[in-house]
Structures are given as structure tokens and as C-alpha cells.
């Protein structure tokens, strides 16, 4: 079955907007349920981590380049580089490594 792109787009926009607007309009008090609060607190870190690795290695033409860029980006982020600096450096690292003659892409 082929899905309709505009329904996909509507779902993305609808879900994203609902997530953001509900707390702003409905929840006037602080969440008190410790489990829900804790769960929501951990979700972003776990999701982003699972999405980044090993996908970052698989995203480049050469897995070696992706792996080195991953390590490089972790070090830069650890040292407090900005979002933009980390993203740009990872790209430049992949580009440079894939220029190396012994890396086949």
C-alpha cells in the first residue's frame, strides 16, 4: 500500500503541534506524578542517543568516516562546542576522511 504524502505531512504537523500546545494551554500546574515526570525527563536523551548510534556510522558512504566523525563530535560536544559547531565539524570530518586514498566509497 502506498501512503499519501499529504496525510503523512498532516500527521507530523498535527502530532508535533498537539504535543507543544497542550501543556501550554491545559496544564497550569506542575506535573506531580513522579513516574511520568521522570519518564518524560529521560525520553529525549534515550531517543536521541538510540537514533544517533549506529545510524551515524551507516549514514556516510564509508562507515570509517561516520565512526570517526561520531567520536570527533562527541569530543567537541563534551568540550562545550555549540550545536552549529558540532554539526559542521562532523560534516567536515567526513568530507576529509573520504578524501583519503585508502578509504573506498
Quick check: 100 binds other proteins (CB under 8 A)?
no
- Give 5 or 101: the residue with its C-beta nearer to other proteins: 5
Give me Rg for the CA atoms of the chain. Answer: 19
Quick check: 60 binds other proteins (CB under 8 A)?
yes
Please tell me the distance from the alpha carbon of residue 88 to that of residue 15, in angstroms, as a whole number.
Answer: 29
Quick check: 91 binds other proteins (CB under 8 A)?
yes
Quick check: 40 binds other proteins (CB under 8 A)?
yes
Quick check: 65 binds other proteins (CB under 8 A)?
yes
Quick check: 24 binds other proteins (CB under 8 A)?
yes
Instruction: Tell me the HSE value of 14 on the side-chain side, using a 13 A CA sphere.
Output: 6
Quick check: 84 binds other proteins (CB under 8 A)?
yes
The three-class DSSP label of residue 32 is coil
Of 63, 64, 90, 101, the residue at the interface with other proteins (CB under 8 A) is: 90
Question: Smallest gap, in angstroms, from Cβ of residue 24 to other proteins?
Answer: 5
Q: How far, in Å, are 15, 29, 49, 67, 77 from residue 70 at the CA level? A: 30, 40, 12, 5, 11
Amino acid at each position: 500500500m502506498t501512503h499519501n504524502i499529504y496525510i503523512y505531512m498532516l500527521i507530523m504537523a498535527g502530532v508535533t503541534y498537539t504535543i507543544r500546545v497542550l501543556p501550554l494551554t491545559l496544564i497550569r500546574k506542575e506535573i506531580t506524578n513522579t513516574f511520568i515526570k521522570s519518564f518524560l525527563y529521560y525520553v529525549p536523551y534515550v531517543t536521541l542517543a538510540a537514533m544517533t548510534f549506529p545510524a551515524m556510522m551507516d549514514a556516510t558512504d564509508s562507515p570509517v568516516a561516520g565512526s570517526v566523525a561520531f567520536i570527533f563530535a562527541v569530543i567537541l560536544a563534551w568540550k562545550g562546542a555549540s550545536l552549529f559547531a558540532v554539526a559542521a565539524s562532523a560534516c567536515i570530518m567526513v568530507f576529509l576522511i573520504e578524501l583519503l586514498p585508502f578509504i573506498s566509497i
